[in-house]
Amino acid sequence: MLAAEGLGRSHVLEQLLRFLLARARSGRAPKEIEIAEAVFARSGGESDADSSVRVYVHRLRRKLDEFYAGPGKDQPSRLILPKGGYLLALEPLAMPEAAPPAPETAIAPNTEPSGPPAAPRRRRLWLAAALLAPLVTLAAGWQIGRWQDDPGHLRDIQNSALWQPLFAHSRRAAIVVGDYYIFGESKPEGDVSRLIREFDVNSPRDLDTFKAMDEPNRRNYTDLGLSYLPLGVGAAIRSVTPMLRFGRNGMGMVTVVPTSRLDVGVLKSNGLVYLGYLSGLGSLRDAVFDHSRFAVGASYDEIIDQRSGRHYMASSHLDNSDAEGEDYALISSFAGVGGNRIIIIAGTRDAALMQAADYVTRPETLAILESRIGKAKAFEALLGIHAMQNVGLEARLIEVSPRADPTWQKNTSEHFPDQLGDNAASGL
C-alpha cells in the first residue's frame, strides 16, 4: 500500500499505520492516549489529543477503503480498522468473477474537503457550472426582507469595529468565496469519464505540476474550467450580503468572486469579505497567516495557536458525528494592498463557517468581540463552534489579538498541507 502511495504524501498517516501495525502484531489494541503520545508526540493531558487521534484514524480508514477499491482491488486480503477500536486486522478479500465497469458518475478518491457527486456527461458538467451563479444569488437574497424591516439593527452591525472600516474605505464590496478546482479524467477515446478533486491541485498551473509528477497518467487529465463551493458558503452569503447592500452605509450591488479567479484589480480596489473554508483561501492565504498568531496544522481541520502552543482540532464532521463535537473559525481584519479593508470569515468546515457568519452579523455577539478588540485596527479572533452532525449550535469567542497588516511584497514562511513539491510534505 505504501509503495503504491495509497496514503498520499502524508507522513502522519504512514506513521499512524506503522504504529497500529506493530501493535496488531503484538495482539494488543492501543489506547487513544498511546497513539497520541507515539504518533503526535502529545500527552494525554492535552485537550486536543483524543480528537487528533480520531481525525487521523478516520482519514486512515477512508484511505484504506480507497486503496482496496482502486489499486489494491486485486489483493488477496486487506487491512481493516473496525470502528469502535484501534486494532488493525487482516481479512480475506473475496475476488469477483468479473469486475463490473466503473460507472460514469464515479468521482476519484480525494482528500478533504469532499466534493459533490459528478455528473455523468460533460454537458451536465457545464450545466452545473451555469447553475452556480443563480444559486448564490438566491442564497444572498434569502433574508433581505428581514434586514430591511429593522434598519436600526442593521446600522448597529455596519458601525461595529469589525465592519465600519470596510465601509469607511470604499463604496464597493466584493465577497470572495473559497472554491475548489476540479479536473477531469478522460477515457482513451477522449470522453471525460469522471471528475477528480485532488487536495493539492487548486488551479490549472497546479494541474500541470501534478501531471508532471504522475507521468503514466498525464495524458488522461483534462482542465475543464470547473470548481465547486461547499454548502456552508451559501448560508454565509445569506447572512453577510444584506448587511453589505442595504441600510445607511450599504454599498449597493455586491460582486461575488471565487478565489480561483481573484485578480489584483479586485484585490486592490474593493473592500473584500472572504467566506469559505480555511483550505479555500487561495491567494489570500499568505496574507491571512503573515504576522498571525495562528497557523494551520497537519490538515486544515487543525488550527495551532503559536503563542500558547494549543492545538484546536475540528471533529464534528466525522462519520460517528451523532455525538457533539467542536469546529473552529478564524475571523481576521487587516489592510489590503491598496489600503482597502479585508475581512476574513473562514471555518474548518460548514458548521464553523455558517456559525461564524451568523456571529459577525449579530449586534450582541459583535459587542462581545468589540469589547476585546480595543483600539486595534487590524486584529484576529478564534471562535469555537459547538456542533453536531456538521450543524453549528453556538459559537464562543476563544482568543482575540491585535495583528500587524500583512507584508504583501513577500510570502509567509508558513507551510500548508496542500502545497505541491518538496515543501508540501514538511507539514504532514
Helices (H), 141-223: 144-148, 151-158, 164-169, 204-213
> For residues 35 and 234, what is the distance between their CA atoms, to the nearest angstrom?
38
Helix (H) or strand (E) holding 358: helix 350-359
pLDDT at 321: 52
Residue with cell 486494532: 87
Strands (E) located in 269-417: 271-277, 294-296, 302-305, 311-313, 325-335, 341-347, 379-388, 391-402
What would the mean pLDDT of 390-410 be, rounded to a whole number? 87
Q: Is 138 helix (H, G, I), strand (E, B) or coil?
A: helix
Helix (H) or strand (E) holding 130: helix 122-140
Q: If phi over 0 gives left and psi between -120 and 50 gives alpha, with beta otherwise, what is residue 234?
A: alpha
Q: Does pLDDT of 48 surpass 80?
A: no
Report the mean per-residue pLDDT for the chain: 78
Q: CB of 70 within 8 A of CB of 110? A: no
Give the phi and the psi of residue 91 in degrees, each rounded to 5.
Answer: -130, 150
Work out whether the CA dihedral 288, 293, 294, 298 comes out positive or negative: positive
Q: Does pLDDT of 307 surpass 90?
A: yes
Grade residue 283 by pLDDT with cuts at 50, 70 and 90: confident
DSSP-assigned states of every residue in 157-193:
HHTSTTTHHHHHH-S-EEEEE--EEEEEEE-TTS-EE
Q: Provide the grid cell at 289.
A: 497567516
Q: CB of 30 within 8 A of CB of 21? A: no
Sheet hosting strand 180-186, strand order edge to edge: 192-196, 180-186, 221-228
Residue 33: which of 18, 16, 46, 15 has the closest Cα? 46
pLDDT at 42: 67
DSSP 82: -
pLDDT at 131: 40
Q: Provide the grid cell at 121.
A: 456527461
- Residue 231's contacts (CB-CB under 8 Å, 6 or more residues apart) are 350
What would the mean pLDDT of 294-306 be, rounded to a whole number? 90
pLDDT digits (tens, 9 = 90+) for 102-149: 444 333 444 444 444 443 333 433 333 334 444 444 444 444 444 444
Q: CB of 374 within 8 A of CB of 402? A: yes
Q: Does pLDDT of 357 surpass 80?
A: yes
Q: If phi over 0 gives left and psi between -120 and 50 gives alpha, with beta otherwise, what is residue 280?
A: alpha
Q: Is omega for the bond preceding 204 within 30 degrees of 0, making it cis?
A: no
Of 118-122, 244-248, 350-354, the poorest mean pLDDT is in: 118-122
Length of the chain: 428
Work out whether the CA dihedral 333, 254, 179, 56 comes out positive or negative: positive
pLDDT at 346: 97
- Residue 47's contacts (CB-CB under 8 Å, 6 or more residues apart) are 310
A 10 A CB-CB count for 306 gives 12
Q: Does pLDDT of 415 surpass 60?
A: yes
> For residues 405 and 379, what is the distance between their CA atoms, to the nearest angstrom?
9
> For residues 424 and 403, what is the distance between their CA atoms, to the nearest angstrom?
26
